[in-house]
C-alpha cells in the first residue's frame, strides 16, 4: 500500500504521522546496512592486482572485476594487468582468449574456479584465486614398428 493510499484512508491528523514511519525505519535499520567500514572488496582487489605477474590477464566475475577496474582507473594501480569481466564473454570466446593469452606468454589468473574450462587447462590455486596453465600434451614416440 502506497503512502497516498494510506493517507486517503487514515484521518488527516494520523496521515501526517504515517510519513514518520519510513524515517523511523531508516533510523532503526541504518546501523545494520551501513557498509562504510567494509574494506574487504578494496583489500582483495588491491591484493589481486599487486600479486599478478607483469602484463597478465585476470578473469573475474562482475563485482570482483569492477573492484579491480576501479583500482586501475581511480588509483592507477597496475594498468598493465588486463581485467576481464567474464559476464561479458561467451564460454567459447573465453577459451579462445585464454588460449591466445597463454600462447603469447601472458599469465592468466582467475578470481573463481567454477565455470572455468578446467578440462582444457591446469588450474593451480594461488592463495584464494587461481592461475591457469596449458595442459601438457602427451608426446608419443613412434619407433617405426
Using one digit for the tens of pLDDT, what is the confidence trace for 108-141?
A: 999 999 999 889 999 999 999 999 999 875 555 5
Q: How far apart are CA 78 and CA 142, in angstroms?
A: 47
> Quick check: helix, strand or coil at residue 4?
helix
For 111, other C-beta atoms within 10 Å of its C-beta total 21
pLDDT in the model for residue 23: 82
> Cβ distance 65 to 85 under 8 Å?
yes
pLDDT in the model for residue 25: 85
Q: Flag whether pLDDT at 8 surpasses 80.
A: no
Looking at per-residue pLDDT, the higher value among 8 and 91 belongs to 91
Specify the pTM. 0.72
Amino acid at each position: 500500500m502506497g503512502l497516498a493510499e494510506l493517507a486517503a484512508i487514515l484521518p488527516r491528523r494520523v496521515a501526517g504521522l504515517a510519513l514518520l514511519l519510513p524515517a523511523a525505519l531508516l533510523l532503526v535499520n541504518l546501523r545494520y546496512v551501513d557498509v562504510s567500514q567494509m574494506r574487504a572488496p578494496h583489500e582483495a582487489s588491491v591484493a589481486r592486482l599487486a600479486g599478478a605477474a607483469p602484463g597478465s590477464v585476470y578473469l573475474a566475475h562482475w563485482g570482483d572485476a569492477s573492484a579491480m577496474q576501479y583500482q586501475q582507473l581511480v588509483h592507477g594501480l597496475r594498468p598493465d594487468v588486463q581485467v576481464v569481466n567474464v559476464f561479458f564473454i561467451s564460454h567459447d570466446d573465453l577459451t579462445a582468449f585464454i588460449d591466445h593469452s597463454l600462447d603469447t606468454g601472458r599469465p592468466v589468473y582467475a578470481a573463481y574456479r567454477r565455470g572455468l574450462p578446467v578440462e582444457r587447462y591446469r588450474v593451480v590455486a594461488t592463495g584464494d584465486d587461481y592461475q591457469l596453465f596449458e595442459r601438457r600434451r602427451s608426446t608419443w614416440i613412434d619407433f617405426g614398428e
